[in-house]
Amino acid sequence: MLRRAITLLTVVLLSLGYLYQPSTAQSIEKFEDKVTEFTLDNGLTFIVIERPVAPVVSFATYVNVGGANEPVGHTGMAHIFEHMAFKGTHTVGTSNWQKEEDVLEEMDNTYQKWLAEKYEPQPDSARMDNLWSKFKKLQEEAGQYVVNNEFSQIIDRNGGTGMNASTSQDRTNYFYNLPENRMELWFSLESDRFKNPVFREFYKEKEVVREERRMRTESQPIGRLIEEFAAVAYTAHPYGRPTIGWNSDITATTREDARKFYNTYYVPSNITFAIAGDVKAERAKELAKKYFGDMESASNPPPVYTKEPEQRGERRFTIKGESQPFFIMGYHTVSQEHPDFQALQLLGSILSGGRTSKLYKRMVDEEKTALQVSAFNGYPGTKYKTLFATLAIPNQNVGVDTMETTILEEIEKVKQGEISQQALDRARTNARASLLRSLDSNSGLASSLASAEALRGDWKKVFTDLEKLQQVTVDDIQRVAKKYLTKDNRTVGAIVPKSDDEEVADASQ
């Protein structure tokens, strides 16, 4: 227990920029003194980490909504709205909001009519053409009022850096850094964009998202493989749907749909802000009340009710194309809050984490059958029951069947107890080092603590997870391998090159 406490304390102190000295060891409570958490009356949660090592402040906004929360028929919605958050507000990004708003409303109504006609059993092509022509004219008219990139330019002019956002199956987050004397600017801009969203250039951004899909999924063999893998592994749970969205769903989503999505999920009780750096908690609390206090509270968003049923047998799929071979295999496991999660995490590291790991040493180093191999728990998300996945790229003239055979042999060895304490200790060391790297900056601290608070209900879990890792034994690794990595619980997929006969047949069509 003492060793675990010291390990945890070391991580905490290093993350705050202190040097750990045995004679001046500080307690976990001392770290908690540097963190102030408060919730406004409307439900907005703030975490403030005082770390005055430089006159810079990092800001992270986590919204507890991702691809898993999207309505059926509107996959990609969370990602589309991530784009919208940079398009400005009633006052930022527009030269005349009143006129722009009227045009945007008419444009959306026109698009909805075009969409309804498109999905009629026998669509009227002439009417579709007229509606589309009207839509394009309105889109051009709306563009006359747009002040491009004004939101980001304001941040740039004030010394901001690192502005970006991302969307996953579990969450949507926004982040950037500002000089400490520009902290109030963040409160002003962030409150404005969440209180006054305008969904400006919505349909243009949909095409940006569609292009992302083409680049990341449709034009990338590995992207197609992973998308198909999730769709086969999950038959019911929304983890089986792509975060980027299906192409037809991107087309079918309207600006009004985005407004409904925002009103449902972008509510105060579903948003967490973290602020780390040269900041005083009392000042942050004053600004939070000033700028966010009038944001209206709302009902909690609906939970994800769908549960993935137990898999009753192995599932397999093959994608044929003009590509080098790829192999993927996965097993249904548990969410991040389950007691077995840490053991599965360490199992992934033992199998493929570094040059001394089982799979890397055998497949890449010794037998040279694979160019790359990895094993990890937590795809495509961790909020709900997830997958333990293995991914391998065969070397030249090596088939995917060799990848499968070798990986299964190494998994079987783990089940039989061929795990050394040294390998487990090494995996734990790697996990601790990974956490340390994620916490060695203001932005890392803000993102990690905001994520834990938003998705798991307690920012302290960033650190208590380390204690759980320390408690995992060799027997635990063997037990979870036997329990979850079974044939009936397995999904196997591969990309294989087309045969010469298939290529000739395609050319003749």
- Residues 6+ positions from 290 with CB-CB distance below 8 Å: 187
Which pLDDT value is given to residue 189? 96
CA 221 and chain centroid, separation: 21
Which pLDDT value is given to residue 275? 97
Q: Which fold has domain 33-94+146-293?
A: Cytochrome Bc1 Complex; Chain A, domain 1 (3.30.830)
Do 33-94+146-293 and 315-497 fold alike per CATH?
Answer: yes
| Under-50 pLDDT residues of the chain | 1-27, 500-501, 503-509
User: Is 42 within 8 Å of 242 (Cβ atoms)?
Assistant: no
Between helix 442-456 and helix 421-438 the angle, nearest 10°, is: 110
Q: What span, in angstroms and rounded, lies between the C-alpha atoms of 181 and 86?
A: 22
Tokens 């507890």 — which residue? 64
Q: Residue 463, Cβ neighbours under 10 Å: how many?
A: 21
The tokens describing 105, both together, are 């409303």
The 10s digit of each residue's pLDDT in 222-278 is: 999 999 999 999 999 999 999 999 999 999 999 999 999 999 999 999 999 999 999
The per-residue DSSP string of 367-397 comes to S--EEEEEEEEEES-SSSS-EEEEEEEEPTT
Which pLDDT value is given to residue 31? 66
Domain segments of the chain: what residues? 33-94+146-293, 315-497
Q: Residue 497, Cβ neighbours under 10 Å: how many?
A: 13
Which pLDDT value is given to residue 242? 96
- Residue 326's DSSP bridge partners are 495
Q: Which fold has domain 315-497?
A: Cytochrome Bc1 Complex; Chain A, domain 1 (3.30.830)
